[in-house]
């Protein structure tokens, strides 16, 4: 079995806490190769003040080799400033690869029409409508912490643990039982054997 190539988009002010449960588990696994990227490969500063040097720039990514694209939240999405990601996102979607978006990143998917015909979630339906005026998927909106439909994972910004769980399921990081044990530990502080 080959490892999944998971690319995490980083930008100044990205919500680092929203992927804080996700990335360590992916990095530890031999089932995932994790690459961080920015538009220009320049170092960025996260919303939590962490200075990060990405692995690659967006131009260095071969979309055919991407298994999953992870889009963390941040005000850049609400301000409609995520430049340079449209083409890669479209290629990933057309290739049937997974896109995982949390919090503000869901507004970008909504604005581009990716959520119109699938079940999805976000911070709230009024939030999506406010920041994605072209959004036409309200009939498919589910008020849940995280939702996976086809190859798109969406999550509320207060649900980084649920977001991580959905990604783990999608890539079969560990057994379903193992994922549930992980979830109970980080969500409820309970470990079961």
Told to judge if 82 belongs to the known catalytic residues of this protein, a careful annotator would answer no
141-156 pLDDT tens trace: 999 999 999 999 999 9
**Residue 14 pLDDT grade (very low, low, confident, very high; cuts 50, 70, 90):** very high
What are φ and ψ of residue 132, in 5° steps? -135, 75
What are φ and ψ of residue 191, in 5° steps? -110, 125
Residue 2 vs residue 75, higher pLDDT: 75
> Which domains, from first to last, does the chain contain?
4-188 (3.40.50.880)
**Residue 82 pLDDT grade (very low, low, confident, very high; cuts 50, 70, 90):** confident
**What is this structure's pTM?**
0.97
- The per-residue pLDDT for 177 is 96
Contacts of residue 172, Cβ cutoff 8 Å, sequence gap at least 6: 31
What are φ and ψ of residue 184, in 5° steps? -60, -35
Q: What is the mean pLDDT of residues 25-37?
A: 97
**Residue 6 pLDDT grade (very low, low, confident, very high; cuts 50, 70, 90):** very high
Asked whether residue 40 carries a pLDDT value surpassing 90, the answer given is yes
165-177 pLDDT tens trace: 999 999 999 999 9
Asked whether residue 191 carries a pLDDT value surpassing 90, the answer given is no
User: What is the pLDDT of the chain when averaged over all its residues?
Assistant: 96
51-57-112-79 Cα dihedral, nearest 10 degrees: 30
- The per-residue pLDDT for 181 is 96
- The per-residue pLDDT for 193 is 73
- The per-residue pLDDT for 112 is 96
- The per-residue pLDDT for 2 is 83
Asked whether residue 125 carries a pLDDT value surpassing 80, the answer given is yes
What are φ and ψ of residue 142, in 5° steps? -120, 125
- The per-residue pLDDT for 1 is 60
Per annotation, catalytic residue among 34, 103, 145, 171: 103
């Amino acid at each position: 079995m080959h490892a999944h190539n998971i690319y995490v988009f980083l930008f100044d002010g990205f919500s680092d806490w929203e992927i804080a449960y996700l990335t360590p588990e992916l990095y530890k696994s031999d089932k995932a190769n994790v690459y961080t990227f920015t538009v220009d490969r320049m170092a960025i500063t996260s919303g939590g003040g962490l200075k990060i040097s990405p692995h690659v720039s967006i131009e260095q990514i071969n979309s055919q080799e991407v298994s999953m694209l992870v889009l963390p939240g941040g005000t850049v999405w609400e301000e409609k400033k995520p430049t340079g990601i449209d083409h890669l996102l479209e290629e990933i979607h057309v290739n049937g690869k997974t896109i995982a978006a949390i919090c503000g990143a869901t507004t970008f998917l909504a604005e581009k029409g990716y959520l119109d015909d699938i079940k999805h979630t976000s911070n709230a339906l009024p939030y999506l409508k406010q920041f994605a005026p072209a959004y036409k998927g309200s009939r498919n909106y589910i008020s849940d912490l995280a939702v996976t439909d086809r190859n798109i994972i969406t999550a509320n910004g207060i649900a980084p643990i649920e977001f991580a769980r959905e990604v783990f399921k999608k890539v079969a990081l560990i057994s379903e039982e193992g994922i549930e044990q992980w979830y109970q530990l980080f969500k409820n502080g309970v470990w079961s054997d």
